[in-house]
Amino acid sequence: MGLKILLADDHSVVRNGIAIILKDAFTGLEVKNAQSFDEVITTLKTFEANVIFLDINIPGGNSTAMIAKIRQITANTRIMMFSAYQEIQYALRYIHAGADGFLSKDSSETEIVDAVKTLVATGKYISSNVKEKILENVLHDTPVNPLENLSNREIEVAELLARGEGNLEISNLLKIQMTTVSTYKNRIFEKLKISNVVNLADILRIYKN
């Protein structure tokens, strides 16, 4: 029986590219596509996929809750999170939520094929970078959720920044000095190892419960 893979991504160029790579590597491969999370759920009810490539930012999904919803339909499909986001920053969160693997969209063709082979054979795919991060977390008791490094006040400021508020507006809302807002902002960026508000908004969306 051939391998069955569901490619869940709202960009056709991504789906088509991955399909070409995989069809060259696996004989008798059957591929289905989904452009939204609703389509993922609908497709999985009639298509017994061995593997699903699931874009983190797929319309209608966008959170770790996608994993549990897929598991309600199928317990056997291996879920490979597929993302343009920095692997270390997001992989552990999704693996902790029950995903079976995490693959960057920057991966080479060889790495993509090897990841699928490993996932099918062992049930898991974890890159060397993620393995190192897991070991670091165990050895140093590092939190999986980077927001755990922020104080309550820093979380408040971070949420306002991500909402599009400027330093003056945050100063007025929280009744603190603008220089204090700047200090909080710099501290937040340093702790989360980011450089802009777009990255901050992504982290809050992924990790804030």
107 CB neighbour count, 10 Å cutoff: 16
Same domain, 95 and 152: no
- pLDDT, residue 90, reads 73
Same domain, 114 and 189: no
- Tell me the residue range of the domain where 88 lies: 4-138
* Those residues with Cβ within 8 angstroms of residue 183's Cβ, 6 or more apart along the chain or in another chain: none
Same domain, 154 and 73: no
Number of compact structural domains in the chain: 2
**127-144 burial by CB neighbour count: b if 16+ within 10 A, else e?**
beebeebbeeeeeeeeee
- pLDDT, residue 101, reads 92
**CATH code at position 61:** 3.40.50.2300
Same domain, 125 and 153: no
- pLDDT, residue 86, reads 61
Do 78 and 100 touch, CB atoms closer than 8 A?
yes
Same domain, 152 and 128: no
Same domain, 32 and 110: yes
Dist CA 130 CA 128 (whole Å): 5
- Which residue, 103, 121, 138, sits at the end of a domain? 138
**CATH code at position 180:** 1.10.10.10
Same domain, 157 and 187: yes
Same domain, 60 and 78: yes
Per-residue pLDDT 10s for the chain (209 aa) are 589 999 999 999 999 999 999 999 999 999 999 999 999 999 999 999 999 999 988 999 877 889 999 999 999 999 999 887 666 667 777 888 899 998 888 889 999 999 999 999 999 998 777 777 666 665 666 666 778 788 889 999 999 999 999 999 999 999 999 999 999 999 999 999 889 998 898 888 777 75
Same domain, 78 and 171: no
Same domain, 133 and 152: no
- Which residue, 87, 103, 138, sits at the end of a domain? 138
Same domain, 11 and 52: yes
- pLDDT, residue 205, reads 78
Residue 103 host element (H or E): strand 101-104
- Which residue, 110, 138, 166, sits at the end of a domain? 138
